[in-house]
Chain A
Amino acid sequence: MQQYSQLPLIEQAILTLAAMILASSLALLAQSRVVATIRLFAWQGVLLAVITALVALDIGDAQLLISALLTLSLKALFIPWLLVRQARLLNILKDSDASIRPGLILLMGGALVVFCYSVVQPIEVFAASVTRNAVALSLAVVMLSMLMLITRRKAVTQVVAFMALENGLFFAAVTTTQGMPLVVELGVAFDVMVAAVIFGVFFFQIRDSIGSLDIDELVRLSESGE
């Protein structure tokens, strides 16, 4: 494996940004206030768009620039805007959604990152240092988002976790394979956008049915509750 300092400058930048995305995932895991969570998510989107643009410049791919723009408008602007707007309408913008044992969860997050590295370590195709790190980091972002999803109890923060998960996947596609074929990326972006809108519809449906957005109170259908 090459040393970090021997890599071309642009790859160093990509790796640094990738590490920052991981850091933003950990910060999302620790953040408890709703508005700050959404804001962090928007910054993660910006980082992702910058990485995509850098990779596009690195390999000279115009198609990837399109998806960088798409990411910026969808993940960094549209979805955060939608979430903030709805949180304001539902009057939960200032609420906090603290997890039960934040310290323990962060430790678990750290362990997940190590685990992800150990999964990709033995694979030879990943031998180029950028790819290996990128696969491990994106897998870690996916895992951390899942951890966030199961430790949150508010619908809004769960949606942020869900969208961060999507970020991790996009991150994987951009850094390991220089993006997916355009038709696939457009399809994925379309799905994500529709999902964001439907989630918005759900906030109101949940509030109307249980009076709040605490997912904890959705326990009528569990098999053991009968």
Chain B
Amino acid sequence: MNALLLTLAAPVVGAILLALLPGVRVGALLNIVFCAAGFVASLGLASGVLSTGPVGGAEFYVDAFNVYLIVLTAFVGLTTAIFSRSYMGHEVGSGRVTTGRMRLYHSSFQGFLLTMLLGLSTNNLGILWVSLEGATLATVLLVSLYRTPESIEAAWKYFVLCGVGIAQTLFGTVLVYLAAAQVVPDTEPALHWTVLLQHADKLDPGVMRIAFVFLLVGYGTKVGLVPLHNWLPDAHSEGPTPMSAVLSGLLLNVALYAIVRVKMLTEGALGAAGGGAGEITGKLMMGFGLISFIVAGLFLHRQRDIKRLYSYSSIEHMGLMTFAFGLGGPLATFGALLHMTVHSLTKSAIFVTVGHASQIAATQLMENIRGLIRTQPAVGWGLLVGTLAIAGFPPFGVFISEFLLLTATMKSAPWLALPLLTGLAVAFAGLFRHLQPMVFGDRPEGQAPVKASLMPVLIHLLMVLWLGLSIPLVLARWFDQATILIAGTGLL
């Protein structure tokens, strides 16, 4: 419990302190320090959960499912903060951002991490809503940080679309509360996840079904499910790159986490706990997921902006995960949990290299980014290996999780394996037709290396490689416990 409080306290103190402190260098360093403190505390929390089971009182609840997401969030936050120091240093140096705005940037960065960690650790569905809305509020001014017309348009779109989306979710939450108030004697804890799950089988199925649709559409907007994805490529491409890294690596995961939690409740109410594919909840998630997966894969081909390219790749992978959670069953769930982890690690590593690549070429237009390996081999190789990993090449972890998902699909819905395989191939082609000339090719005149911090990339990609070669027993047990929670039975 203390470790949990520490995990949450680090970003709270960070957000307030960094808003007050002038000085870009100090701010960037302190940003790293607070993230590191949060990460260490989250490790303490994880070991607690691992040894003694779920932690938390009435307001907070941490079990095997969210604890690994908490550690992942704190970790990606830390490595992104390290990357952000050199990246934003370059942006300030080149005059794109004023030092005053850097205070806003650092404070919002911590604020965003706070909302993510709060959303993951809270036991209250209402607070989960508040923190996801808070995540939009914390990041929206960062999307418009550069004050270009494009960035302001992107931020406005992000604000309005996500705001409306998340409003649907609040309506869904009210409906859940309505259903719960009928069966839970004391209404004060009626939105607590633990209480709801206990009474799930008595919740009114009609109300829960409508509630689930609202919740899926609302949180689905944040996950970036097609056709609710419009804000995502804009916000990713126009904001500062460290923001794109945490949006892709963390926010989408937390939104999907929220969907999975309410799916568990709804299935309990519909009397289909653990199953999924046969019920409306599973079908909806499979449908939305598959459409996102295929549409995003096709859109990869026509991108010209490097950050838009990789944000469509995020939509594609989130679609795949949503599909897998919808499919249900231990194998698909295990695969989806693994995929969440490896996608987060790989995608944030890619955004780090993408950020440096666009600084080297001084543009985000892919047709003007050329010869990265000749200019700065570390950035070029980082981008190449990262893209190989995200495209699902063995021996990286993404390959393993996609393989598990395909196997699960073959077992329970064989005809759907065909669109999945096709989609993977389409996405692969979409990524590599753009990547080839950027990484190889001739180095344009006068292109010089930039000061880069590629440690995060190396660490992330090595972890993804490790997860591809052998999943450590501790982690496998962890995933398995989470699988038991979600799907009813484990895999191991």
Contact = CB atoms under 8 A, between A and B. Distances in A.
Contact of B167 (A169, A177, A208): A169
A168 to B, nearest CB: 8
A146 B228 CA distance: 14
B157 A221 contact: yes
Interface string A121-141: 011110000010001001100
A9 B71 CA distance: 55
Nearest to B231: A221
Interface residues of B, number: 53
A158 B103 CA distance: 29
A218 B129 CA distance: 29
A122 B148 CA distance: 50
Nearest to A120: B210
Contact of A181 (B124, B156, B304): B124
B171 A206 contact: no
Counting chain A CB atoms within 10 Å of each CB, the highest count among B156, B168, B190 belongs to B156
Interface in A137-155: 138-139, 142, 146, 149, 155
Contacts of A8: none
A221 B124 contact: no
A209 B147 contact: yes
Contact of B204 (A125, A155, A176, A218): A125
A42 B157 CA distance: 25
Nearest to A176: B178
A210 interface: yes
B141 A172 contact: no
Contacts of A119: 210
Given A169-B167, A169-B174, A177 B234 contact: no
A149 B164 contact: yes
Chief secondary structure at chain B's binding surface:
helix
B156 A202 contact: yes
A180 B177 contact: yes
B134 interface: yes
Contacts of B148: 209
Nearest to B167: A165
Contact of B150 (A120, A165, A205, A220): A220
B400 to A, nearest CB: 33
Contact of A142 (B152, B167, B189): B167
B191 A215 contact: no
Contacts of A210: 149, 152
A210 B144 CA distance: 14
A221 B144 contact: no
Contact of A177 (B130, B160, B177): B177
A220 B304 CA distance: 14
Interface string B126-140: 110110011001001
Contacts of A181: 124, 126, 187-191
Given A191-B130, A202-B155, A215-B156, A162 B124 contact: no
B141 A201 contact: yes
B182 interface: yes
21 contacts: A125-B182, A125-B204, A142-B167, A168-B171, A169-B171, A172-B174, A177-B174, A180-B126, A184-B191, A191-B130, A194-B137, A195-B137, A195-B163, A198-B137, A199-B159, A202-B144, A202-B159, A210-B149, A210-B152, A218-B156, A223-B302
Q: Top 7 A-B pairs ranked by shortest CB distance?
A: A184-B126, A187-B130, A218-B153, A209-B149, A123-B206, A191-B133, A125-B204
Given A142-B167, A205-B155, 14 more contacts: A123-B206, A124-B206, A125-B179, A125-B206, A142-B171, A146-B164, A169-B170, A173-B177, A177-B178, A187-B126, A198-B137, A202-B156, A210-B152, A223-B302
